Amino acid sequence: MAQSYAMRFDEPHTVLRRVERTVPVPGPDELVLEVLACGVCRTDLHIADGEIAAHYPIVPGHEVVGRVIALAALRAGALEGAAVLVPPC
């Protein structure tokens, strides 16, 4: 399986730590992105400071620009390599 990296907080009041992760296989209605840029919002900083309850370890950021690297088998090739923006929810 392919490997990738993420930056995560292991617990509140710690620095971000680079960790190796396995690239997931997309489910039927999913795709996998290579993250090119990721925004960190004030909520992420509250989590880092322990001011908001979270399940640690946690990878902050949810405003993502990326490139499609894998799609569900039924849609394979349709968007592969496309640049995408994932707006805040």
Backbone angles phi, psi at 7, to 5 degrees: -105, 130
Predicted TM-score (pTM) of the model is 0.74
Q: Find the domain containing 45 and state its range.
A: 3-86
74: three-class secondary structure by DSSP = helix
Per-residue confidence (pLDDT) for residue 88, from 0 to 100: 72
- pLDDT of 83 over the 90 cut: no
Find the CATH number of the domain harbouring 49.
3.90.180.10
| In the chain, % of residues over pLDDT 90 | 46
Number of domains in the chain: 1
- At 51, the pLDDT band (50, 70, 90 cuts) reads very high
Per-residue confidence (pLDDT) for residue 82, from 0 to 100: 84
72 within 8 A of 26, measured Cβ to Cβ: yes
